[in-house]
Amino acid sequence: MAELYRSTATEIVAALKSGDVTPLDCLDALEKRISDVDSKVNALPTLCFDRARAHAEDLMKKPIAERGPLAGLPVPIKDLTDVAGIRCTQGSPIYATRIAETSDILVTHLEKNGGIIYAMSNTPEFGAGANTFNEVFGRTLNPWDATKSAAGSSGGAAVALATGMAWVAHGSDLGGSLRNPASFCGVVGMRPSPGRVAATVGNKIDSTLKIEGPMARNVEDLALLFDAMIGEEQGDPLSLPADGTSYLKAARSGWKPKRVAISRDLGISPVDPEVAAIVMAAARQFESQDVIVEEAHPDLHEAMECTQTLRAMSYAVGMRALLETSRDQLKPEIIWNIEKGLALTATDISKAEAQRSAMFHRTLKFFETYDLLLCPTTIVPPFPVEQRYVTDCNGTKFTTYVDWLLIVSAITAVCCPAISIPAGFTRGNLPIGIQVVAPPRGEAKLLAGAKMLEGILALGAITPIDPRVGV
């Protein structure tokens, strides 16, 4: 049973539904694997196996057919999302000892669908910075080379997947926080369309920037978790009702795009030449299946100014009170982002909203010609973990701590679902992800296209691995 961690999530759920294994078997296997490897990577700093086993035992009192689509599959939750009775810190000293009183809507939804929560995954302070470190739990290390960053902010989730401490994982994404760590860790992460996954409302009730989403080791496993995440919840006014689509079936459908666009930089960002070469070569593999592949991208030239403004506004709305009461406990990047937001004028905000709308409509028009858009997920390979963020790339120096995320944050701005899957490896044997983008609410075709490319590239079984230090 200890070797169960090597199985795929779809295999584990099939075994749970057949009765060949129990949810308790799964928890035992994960607890053993975490004991063996987490001290080397620091991905899951908070464990809640007592809670998980109590939930598993309650679930096992039901007939197998009534245990939900996940049937008792364990799922870790990112430490930005509350789980009742569990230490939930948001990676901040401000909340270092906080115990959540109630669970987020997302958690209760997953549990209703047969998910069992057993751990909280590490994240940067308040999810900011795309490198998973904080003053509560320390750094999460990349298992491909433990001297490198796992990216973020869903870095703990990605590392748990890559090392076999999770079959699937919850993450969230504003400026690439599902996609970047998937790229750095050789796993899969998808940012869905706004509204697909319900979550508890924060200070901004109509936010479409931060999105909850699934992560896994391969596309099918991700689709399995996504099926359990979707659906309307009263507490989230933007949440969409499930329309009967099975995204796992969609991933397996065999749908093939007719025409895809590929871009090395979306026309807006520098990209490391080795990364660009790996991604473009991977994207060209669609041609082997008689798919038309053309170099093109939508016009996103306002993306930097737009995303910087809207991100800053979200920080000002969500964290102004913390700046006033706990400034000395916030990392400098967060202070800068809140203060930038507080300094915005109505003219700044209205301009950014107009830019976003214009980019959205141009992107919709673009997808009238192309089924999918492919480009790099991250513009650099995994960088030294001590480096707080990427300061330059291919001769371009960055001004802020989020400039290097533009190739993913631009896609956030236009509300498109996007997935990162492994594209290949650098000469230093570090994983590189390719970002596959579909039009808004196009997750079914996105997953089918990603599954097709995953099969062509034959990189779908590169994890789980044992943590390594260099190669």
| Residue 339 burial (C-beta neighbours within 10 Å; 0-12, 13-18, 19+) | middle
Q: Is 18 a catalytic residue?
A: no
Residue 92 to residue 89: CA distance in whole angstroms: 6
**Residue 290: which residues within 8 A CB-CB, separation 6 or more?**
none
Q: Which of 7, 149, 177, 207 is catalytic?
A: 177
- Among 78, 148, 210, 340, the active-site one is 78
345 exposure class (CB count in 10 Å sphere: 0-12, 13-18, 19+): exposed
Rounded-to-integer distance, Cα 245 and Cα 22, Å: 28
Sequence letter at residue 93: P
Residue 421 bridge partners (DSSP): 434
Closest CA to 444 of 188, 230, 172: 230
H-run or E-run covering 189: strand 188-191
Catalytic residue among 7, 153, 207, 263: 153
Report the relative pairing of strands 116-121 and 74-78 from DSSP bridges. Answer: parallel
Whether 290 contacts 431, CB under 8 Å: no
78 is catalytic: yes
- Whole-angstrom Cα distance, residue 359 to residue 35? 47
Residue 364: strand, helix, or coil = helix
Look at strands 188-191 and 211-216 and give their pairing: antiparallel
- Kindly state the DSSP code that residue 434 receives in the 8-state scheme: E
Q: Residue 347: helix, strand or coil by DSSP?
A: helix
Q: Residue 39: is it exposed, middle or buried by C-beta count within 10 angstroms (0-12/13-18/19+)?
A: exposed
**Is 239 annotated as catalytic?**
no
CA distance 430 to 445: 28
d(CA 99, CA 74): 21
> What residues have CB less than 8 Å from 404, skipping those under 6 apart?
130, 269, 379, 380, 389, 390, 391, 393, 398
DSSP 452-468: HHHHHHT-TT-------
CA–CA separation, 214 and 158 (whole Å): 10
Q: Are strands 292-295 and 259-262 parallel, antiparallel or unpaired?
A: parallel
The string of DSSP codes covering 291-332 is: -EEEE-----TTHHHHHHHHHHHHHHHHHHHHHHHHGGGS-H
Which residues are designated catalytic? 78, 153, 177
